[in-house]
Chain A
Amino acid sequence: MSAPAIATPKATKSTASLRHRLAERGIDTSLLMLVPALVFALALFVYPFSYGIGLTFQPTAAIQEKWGAGVFSNYAAFFKDSFVFDSIWLTMRLALPAALFNVLASIPVAFKLRQRFRGKRLLTILLVLPITLGTVLTAQGLLIFAGRQGWLNRFLIQIGLIDQPLALVNNYLGVMFSLVISGFPFAFLLISSYLSGIDPSIEAAAKTMGADWKQRFRRVILPLLAPGLATTFILTFVLAFSVFPSARLVGDAMGSTRVMALMAYRAFGEQTDYPMASTIAMMMGVIELVVVAMVLLWRSFLYKGSTGGKG
């Protein structure tokens, strides 16, 4: 360029104090508020997690002898020992349908509870109440209510509807019930809040444009609700995937509900093989991450902006 270059003035040295300049970049004493969280994260997550990863590469002599593969012996054992490996499928078989059911069943309920009607508050309380029950309490209740000698079976036999007690607990069904009881209120609460974030006048507009309820749901509500459904699915899936107490208490711990958490516990508690237990725990994390990543990938193709409501 022929035009005389305009001399760019050297950045003038700031006269503000160092403290002031650091504060401009977000470094000041308010950072101290992060200390408790950091301490907890380091002490209770980062350190044990890295330690656990380290453990997986220190297989016990017995494992090394049986499965070979040197430092990767634990992983070889995980993939080759069908007793352990099958637990992935057994866990998925519980967690995926449970999460899916919780999400899908919450949608109509959340819709109904969006309207105003008598007894709405009572119904909401009843739906959310199970959140306050621990898994152990739920399991206990299920055993008493739905066990072979439980109220339900005795009642059904007495009125002559069945001859043999129904096998509702100590199997796959029992765990499924428990997962729904503890997961549904959670999914319902989340979906309700997502739904209330959608401006009702958007649906009214679709109505005046001639869309019947099916079209309104499919073309307007569902696309706006889908990111929320994905998030809810992920959260309930993670909850269900790490199922442990109910799998043991109301499930068939060594059979149809031999979930990964139980396998890890078995390696840790019964075989005192910490490295193998860590390996199973790590693989649990990996599988959860894969499912979460797939759902998030699907979610990334959806509209995620404002839905016009109170959000």
Chain B
Amino acid sequence: MTIAASKFESLELRGVGRSFGGTDALVDLNLTVRAGEFIALLGPSGCGKSTALNCLAGLLPLTHGQILIDGKRVDTVAAENRGFGMVFQNYALFPHLSVEKNIAFGLQMRKVPKDELKRRVAEGIALVKLEEHAKKLPGQLSGGQQQRVAIARAVVLEPRLVLMDEPLSNLDAKLRLEMRTEIRRLHQSLGLTTLYVTHDQEEALSMADRLVVLRAGRVQQIGTPEQLHNSPANWHVADFMGYRNLIDLDVTAVNGSTVTVQDEGITLRGTAVQPATVGEKVRAAIRPEDLVVVSPGSPVQGGNTTTATVSVVEYHGREFAVDVTTAGGRSLHVRSDHAPTVGSVVELTADPARVLVFRADLTDPSTLSTQEQELAEVRR
């Protein structure tokens, strides 16, 4: 395998921002990417992740900040001269060119000599295992094959950086898993520095070395999958990381980092991730796996219990997924090792270390626009 990434030491995004008219799509993104790293930009749609990618590719000019590679500015370089490869959500293959010619396109643009071009195109096709389809037009291929062409087309150029914009979101579930492994394999064998945009937290967690979680154009947290998974920085990140139970409560007692939070019909002890004071409104985040129905097999943990009424029971193989309603009418997602009767009152328990308590406010309200403040009001 002779395809290899062109080398650089580090890519630095310094206060990168982009506004459209009066609205900020991306605000103050600071990120340093080391060569060979796989970074995922994660967030819901409209969070600015695609904007960030397009800014990097040069398809959108920046309105704030700088992008530097080894200290040299690249944000002033035209897209066609940046030497980045990009893979699009809808593949964006040239529909009138065969697989071979699609892959050869970038090499032709770079005036690569004919022999070398032939060799590299063949390598690119072999890399994504499309030898039998080399002469076909993109329209004759399946979605997964088309995406493989798009990836081959980007990597044969040996780009300094590969940008992927939700490359798997148009594929079906099975293909998505296969392609995920494929992309990871390519990344590892070629040492490509990759920036990967997705709204699928599972995809991001399984593929990336580091994740950047975005919300409303602002970075929420940057860290390794473990860091984000185990200690999210705020409830929004927690929400994205599978903490499905987000409960608004009042703080009734503070003891170091352990806080007691309470509301009508529910009392829990948890760990304050952000400083909390008595009387403050907070949001507790608990994974369904961490909030379990008390039974002989799963005893009360840390004296932390509360009661609720069972409303829905689903069989999940190893365990039961149970939806319960608290006395205050709040719905919670919990797990159980047995099937409780619908309508019965059960006792729930959670390890206080796994009950994360966050400030209810995500950001300093003064930095938000009026529109965003209104949105926040509606969501509350």
- Seen from chain A, the residues whose Cβ lies within 8 Å of a Cβ on chain B are 199, 201-202, 204-212, 215, 219-220, 223-224, 302-303, 305-308
Distance of A303 Cα from B139 Cα, bound (Å): 11
B106 touches A201 (CB 8 A): no
B92 touches A209 (CB 8 A): no
B153 touches A209 (CB 8 A): yes
Count chain A CB atoms within 10 A of each CB in B96, B105, B139 and give the residue with the most: B96
In the complex, what's the smallest C-beta–C-beta distance from A306 to chain B, in angstroms?
A: 6
**Count of A-B contacts with CB under 8 A?**
78
* With contact pairs A215-B109, A219-B105, A306-B139 given, residues A208 and B80 touching in the complex (Cβ less than 8 Å): yes
* With contact pairs A215-B109, A303-B95, A307-B95 given, residues A208 and B57 touching in the complex (Cβ less than 8 Å): yes
B105 touches A208 (CB 8 A): no
The 7 closest A-B pairs by CB, nearest first: A303-B96, A209-B106, A205-B92, A201-B92, A210-B109, A208-B86, A207-B79
B96 touches A223 (CB 8 A): yes
Chain A residues within 8 Å of B154, by CB: 208-209
Distance of A201 Cα from B79 Cα, bound (Å): 13
A-B contact pairs, 28 of them (CB 8 A): A201-B90, A202-B94, A204-B59, A204-B86, A204-B92, A205-B88, A205-B94, A205-B153, A207-B79, A208-B57, A208-B58, A208-B59, A208-B84, A209-B106, A209-B109, A209-B154, A209-B157, A210-B80, A210-B106, A210-B109, A211-B80, A211-B109, A212-B80, A223-B96, A224-B96, A305-B137, A306-B139, A308-B92
Task: Identify which of A215, A220, A224, A308 contacts B90 (C-beta below 8 A).
Answer: A308
Distance of A207 Cα from B81 Cα, bound (Å): 9
Chain A residues within 8 Å of B157, by CB: 209-210
Distance of A204 Cα from B95 Cα, bound (Å): 14
In the complex, what's the smallest C-beta–C-beta distance from B197 to chain A, in angstroms?
A: 14
B232 at the interface (CB under 8 A from A): no
Chain B residues within 8 Å of A205, by CB: 86, 88, 92-94, 150, 153
Given known contacts A205-B93, A207-B79, A210-B110, what 10 new A-B pairs fall within 8 Å (CB)? A201-B92, A204-B92, A205-B92, A206-B105, A207-B80, A208-B57, A208-B84, A209-B105, A210-B80, A210-B157
Task: Identify which of B82, B83, B95, B109 contacts A202 (C-beta below 8 A).
Answer: B95
Chain B residues within 8 Å of A206, by CB: 94, 105
Chain B residues within 8 Å of A306, by CB: 95, 139
Count chain A CB atoms within 10 A of each CB in B80, B83, B153 and give the residue with the most: B80
B270 at the interface (CB under 8 A from A): no
Chain B residue with Cβ nearest A226: B96
- The interface size of chain B toward A, counting residues with CB under 8 Å, comes to 29
- Seen from chain B, the residues whose Cβ lies within 8 Å of a Cβ on chain A are 57-59, 79-86, 88, 90, 92-96, 105-106, 109-110, 137, 139, 150, 153-154, 157, 163
Count chain A CB atoms within 10 A of each CB in B58, B81, B90, B157 and give the residue with the most: B90
B80 touches A220 (CB 8 A): no
Task: Identify which of B88, B105, B110 contacts A204 (C-beta below 8 A).
Answer: B88
Chain B residues within 8 Å of A307, by CB: 95
* With contact pairs A204-B88, A209-B105, A210-B109 given, residues A305 and B95 touching in the complex (Cβ less than 8 Å): yes
In the complex, what's the smallest C-beta–C-beta distance from B113 to chain A, in angstroms?
A: 16
Task: Identify which of A209, A302, A305 contacts B139 (C-beta below 8 A).
Answer: A305
Task: Identify which of B81, B88, B137, B153 contacts A201 (C-beta below 8 A).
Answer: B88
In the complex, what's the smallest C-beta–C-beta distance from A265 to chain B, in angstroms?
A: 45
Distance of A220 Cα from B105 Cα, bound (Å): 10
Task: Identify which of A207, A209, A211, A308 contacts B95 (C-beta below 8 A).
Answer: A308
Chain A residues within 8 Å of B153, by CB: 205, 209
Distance of A204 Cα from B110 Cα, bound (Å): 17
In the complex, what's the smallest C-beta–C-beta distance from B145 to chain A, in angstroms?
A: 16
B139 touches A202 (CB 8 A): no
Distance of A306 Cα from B138 Cα, bound (Å): 10
In the complex, what's the smallest C-beta–C-beta distance from A238 to chain B, in angstroms?
A: 27
In the complex, what's the smallest C-beta–C-beta distance from A206 to chain B, in angstroms?
A: 7
A202 touches B80 (CB 8 A): no
Chain A residues within 8 Å of B81, by CB: 210
Count chain B CB atoms within 10 A of each CB in A208, A211, A303, A307 and give the residue with the most: A208
In the complex, what's the smallest C-beta–C-beta distance from A1 to chain B, in angstroms?
A: 34
Chain A residues within 8 Å of B58, by CB: 207-208
In the complex, what's the smallest C-beta–C-beta distance from A295 to chain B, in angstroms?
A: 19
In the complex, what's the smallest C-beta–C-beta distance from B141 to chain A, in angstroms?
A: 12
Distance of A224 Cα from B94 Cα, bound (Å): 9
Chain A residue with Cβ nearest B54: A204
Count chain B CB atoms within 10 A of each CB in A219, A223, A307 and give the residue with the most: A219
Distance of A205 Cα from B79 Cα, bound (Å): 10
Chain A residue with Cβ nearest B163: A208
Count chain B CB atoms within 10 A of each CB in A205, A219, A305, A306 and give the residue with the most: A205
In the complex, what's the smallest C-beta–C-beta distance from A179 to chain B, in angstroms?
A: 32
Distance of A212 Cα from B58 Cα, bound (Å): 13
Distance of A212 Cα from B83 Cα, bound (Å): 13
Chain B residue with Cβ nearest A210: B109
Chain A residues within 8 Å of B88, by CB: 201, 204-205
Chain A residue with Cβ nearest B106: A209
In the complex, what's the smallest C-beta–C-beta distance from A196 to chain B, in angstroms?
A: 16
Chain B residue with Cβ nearest A303: B96
Distance of A244 Cα from B241 Cα, bound (Å): 72
Distance of A220 Cα from B157 Cα, bound (Å): 18
Chain A residues within 8 Å of B93, by CB: 202, 205
